[in-house]
Homo-oligomer: A and B are copies of this chain.
Amino acid sequence: MTIRQMCELFDVTPRTLRFYESRELISPERRGQHRLYNRRDRARLKLILQGKRFGFSLEDIRQLLELYDPRENNVTQIAATIEASRQRLADMTRQQEELTVAIDELRQRIGNAERMLEDRRRG
């Protein structure tokens, strides 16, 4: 799959893909000079974009990707990856709890505002 096809599939620009590659988040094969993306690359990109929506930095995401398909077989490296991942998991569970509360409150606020707006419009 070419870079253009990837861009259309995931709604990103070529610049973005090359940038992620420069940060070692993806590493497509080369046919001559051109890049070729396979299933693994697509899976990684999907995770990258998801991680971004959760507010993680690209460096955080890079570490998570190590867990999802490891390149390093060093034992201490793996342990470090696990530890970093545990931290991300803690971030995510806390965020989930906060989200639940925040969503509930936001719904109520919107409801109030809607009623207030209706009152204003009538009288």
- A interface with B by C-beta (< 8 Å): 50, 52-55, 64, 67-68, 70, 75, 78-79, 81-82, 85-86, 88-89, 92-93, 95-96, 98-100, 102-103, 106-107, 109-110, 113-114, 116-117, 120-121
B98 touches A53 (CB 8 A): yes
Known: A95-B53, A117-B75, A120-B78. A86 touches B109 (CB 8 A): no
B50 touches A121 (CB 8 A): no
The listed residue (B85, B96, B109) touching A96 by CB distance below 8 A is B96
On chain B, the residues within 8 Å of A103 by CB distance are 89, 92-93, 96
Q: How far is the CA of A64 from the CA of B89 in the complex (A)?
A: 27
Closest 4 CB pairs of A and B: A55-B55, A96-B99, A82-B113, A92-B103
B98 touches A50 (CB 8 A): yes
